[in-house]
Amino acid sequence: MMPGGMNPKKMKQMMNKLGMKMDPIEGVTRVIIESEGGNYIFDEAEVVVMSVQGTVTYQLTGEPRFEAPKVADSEPLDVEITDDDVQLVAMQTGVSEDAARSALLEANGDIAEAIMKLGSE
């Protein structure tokens, strides 16, 4: 018996008369809702497809967990590293010019960031 004392078979017949159809999707292991703010992940979800007068609705039941979006490594910018910049970083940090150039490339040409990075090593 269903809540309210209604027989499930009668309930299904009544829904069919009203043009309603409900079918569970079997074997669902995970549902992910992607949004700009992050992802809602339902690991143990139940999904039911409801059709009412030509409109299809998916009903999702379960406990979500939220994952914030991962920050992707940014592509290195196409920056021009001048010899003056390399010499300045090398002089300020006491490293070779090759190490200074590498630090500048990793910092996308930002001299202060390159000096701080080399200073913390």
Q: What is the pTM of this model?
A: 0.47
**Residue percentage of the chain with pLDDT more than 90:** 50
User: Closest Cα to residue 105, out of 73, 80, 74?
Assistant: 80
Residues 63 and 95 in one domain: no
Is 25 inside any structural domain? Answer: yes
Number of domains in the chain: 2
| pLDDT tens digits, one per residue of 46-57 | 999 999 888 999
How far is residue 32's CA from residue 93's CA, in Å, rounded to a whole number? 48
Which residues have a Cβ under 8 Å from the Cβ of 56 and sit 6 or more positions away?
49, 50
Does residue 4 register a pLDDT over 70? no
Residue 90: give the domain boundaries.
83-119
Does residue 75 register a pLDDT over 60? no
Does residue 63 register a pLDDT over 70? yes
Residues 50 and 13 in one domain: yes
Does residue 72 register a pLDDT over 60? no
Residues 18 and 48 in one domain: yes
Output the average pLDDT for the chain. Answer: 86
Query: Are the CB atoms for 22 and 48 separated by under 8 Å?
Result: yes
Query: Average pLDDT, stretch 29-42?
Result: 92
Does residue 17 register a pLDDT over 90? no
Amino acid at 38: G
Is 75 inside any structural domain? Answer: no
Query: Average pLDDT, stretch 16-22?
Result: 86
How far is residue 80's CA from residue 103's CA, in Å, rounded to a whole number? 13
Residues 16 and 42 in one domain: yes
Is 90 inside any structural domain? Answer: yes
Query: Average pLDDT, stretch 28-38?
Result: 92
CATH number at residue 87: 1.10.8
What was the pLDDT predicted at 37? 87
